């Protein structure tokens, strides 16, 4: 699609429960060795899909699984598309202006996939950069979590990402929680380390919402951009646990305020042989539908509450926060949450002006920039919070490094 301005547009595509810091009870902290299976039953344990015979050695764990461990963030990385779309560019497509967008959202530019770029490609780059910073080999990664609502493949992309990165010993799967996805993925990674005995978990947050934007709707097209970010979560002694507290929450009653639901096209076949309602009509996804006022009210109310709950679990006051890192959706939401928590603006991380709302990528993208610029240092305490479609929201109090 090309606008009259000549600008090429992206193609449209189809209260938390209380926990104790003590963790698991001692009786649950025993490692049970895997049961040895007869060689003829080990075919499913091969690291690649082929017709070869699998040896008993291939089924053995690479290292003993020790449960009850803590987690720490030891590396991060990010990747963005080459094409930058400014507010002035958008003003040639819809009735808007740079001043109007910036005043209401804080956004000046956003990055959008173009040409041969793919979300998988961005995810791979971000993952590789996180591993490089962490100085961890790809083959030492145990699990890859791809947090996205817009995979290149409807059936998920984690397996393709881990293969391209070279994580030959890792399992992977996708997590879909929209703009809360990265926080959900981060917490999930720590649970696999604590309860599953994994050592290295790669969490990738990536989204390309430009594929689901109605570029004639100035209420939504001004908001979204594409990006990927990643962190490497590593096992450590429980006493050094970098996840100090967290809170996650969902409320399906708010789905009507923010969604991209499926819709049905015409039937695939014209001849149904007299069977009513068959075959099912081809499904496609609608463009993003959002009630901005209701989402804003939800965010400024629930995000500070969520952070306060996570701080309560961590046993920390808000004054102990070195950095506030929220999902980059709207600068007014970020400012309102900081004010509610009494956190000064110089402790707030924001790159919203440059990238817009990149959904699950926004938190790791902003974190990566803050770490590489020297703003976030080892030992800093970060209050991170994601919120979005579902409705879902969650917060994590983490220590960097």
| Alpha carbons 120 and 350: distance in angstroms, whole number | 25
Q: Is 275 exposed, middle or buried (0-12, 13-18, 19+ CB in 10 A)?
A: exposed
**Catalytic-role residue among 179, 221, 247, 302:** 179
Q: Is 12 exposed, middle or buried (0-12, 13-18, 19+ CB in 10 A)?
A: middle
Residue 63 sits at φ, ψ, to 5 deg, of: -155, 155
Q: Which residues lie closer than 8 Å to 354 by C-beta, 6 or more apart? A: 108, 109
| Alpha carbons 168 and 215: distance in angstroms, whole number | 40
Dmax (CA) for the chain in angstroms is 69
| Alpha carbons 175 and 243: distance in angstroms, whole number | 20
Please report, for residues 91, 93, 268, 289, 332, the alpha-carbon distance to residue 217 in angstroms, rounded to integers and kept in the order given. 12, 10, 30, 10, 21
Best CA proximity match to 205, nearest among 93, 315, 321, 79: 79
257 is catalytic: no
H-assigned helices in 166-272: 181-196
Long-range interactions of 35-42: CB distance < 8 A, separation 24+ = none
**Catalytic-role residue among 287, 327, 330, 354:** 327
State the CB neighbour count (10 A cutoff) for residue 190: 25
| Alpha carbons 399 and 401: distance in angstroms, whole number | 6
Please report, for residues 98, 104, 131, the alpha-carbon distance to residue 107 in angstroms, rounded to integers and kept in the order given. 9, 8, 30
16 is catalytic: no
357 is catalytic: yes
User: 202 and 130 in contact (C-beta within 8 Å)?
Assistant: yes
- The set of catalytic residues is 179, 327, 357
């Amino acid at each position: 699609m090309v606008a009259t301005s000549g600008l090429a547009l992206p193609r449209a595509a189809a209260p938390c429960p209380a926990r104790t810091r003590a963790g698991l009870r001692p009786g649950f902290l025993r490692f049970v060795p895997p049961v040895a299976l007869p060689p003829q039953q080990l075919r499913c344990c091969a690291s690649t899909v082929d017709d070869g015979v699998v040896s008993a050695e291939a089924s053995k764990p690479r290292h003993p699984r020790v449960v009850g461990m803590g987690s720490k963030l030891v590396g991060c990385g990010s990747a963005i598309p080459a094409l930058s779309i400014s507010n002035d560019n958008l003003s040639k497509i819809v009735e808007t202006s740079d001043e109007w967008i910036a005043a209401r959202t804080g956004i000046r530019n956003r990055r959008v996939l173009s040409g041969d770029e793919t979300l998988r490609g961005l995810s791979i780059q971000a993952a590789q950069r996180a591993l490089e910073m962490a100085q961890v080999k790809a083959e030492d990664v145990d699990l890859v979590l791809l947090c996205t609502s817009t995979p290149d493949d409807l059936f998920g992309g984690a397996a393709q990402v881990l293969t391209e990165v070279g994580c030959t010993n890792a399992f992977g799967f996708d997590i879909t929680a929209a703009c809360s996805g990265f926080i959900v993925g981060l917490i999930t990674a720590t649970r696999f380390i604590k309860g599953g005995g994994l050592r290295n978990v790669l969490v990738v947050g990536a989204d390309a919402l430009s594929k689901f934007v109605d570029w004639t709707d100035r209420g939504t097209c001004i908001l979204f951009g594409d990006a990927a970010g990643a962190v490497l979560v590593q096992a450590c002694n429980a006493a050094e646990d970098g996840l100090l507290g967290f809170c996650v929450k969902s409320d399906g009653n708010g789905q009507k305020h923010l969604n991209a639901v499926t819709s049905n096209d015409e039937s695939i076949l014209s001849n149904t042989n007299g069977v009513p309602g068959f075959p099912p009509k081809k499904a496609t996804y609608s463009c993003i539908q959002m009630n901005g006022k209701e989402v804003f009210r939800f965010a400024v109310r629930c995000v500070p509450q969520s952070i306060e709950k996570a701080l309560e679990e961590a046993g920390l006051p808000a004054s102990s926060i070195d950095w506030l890192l929220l999902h980059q959706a709207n600068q007014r939401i970020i400012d309102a949450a900081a004010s509610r928590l009494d956190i000064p603006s110089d402790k707030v991380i924001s790159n919203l002006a440059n990238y817009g709302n990149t959904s699950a990528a926004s938190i790791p993208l902003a974190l990566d920039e803050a770490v590489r610029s020297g703003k976030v240092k080892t030992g800093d305490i970060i209050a991170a919070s994601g919120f979005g479609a579902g409705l879902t929201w969650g917060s994590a109090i983490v220590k960097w490094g």
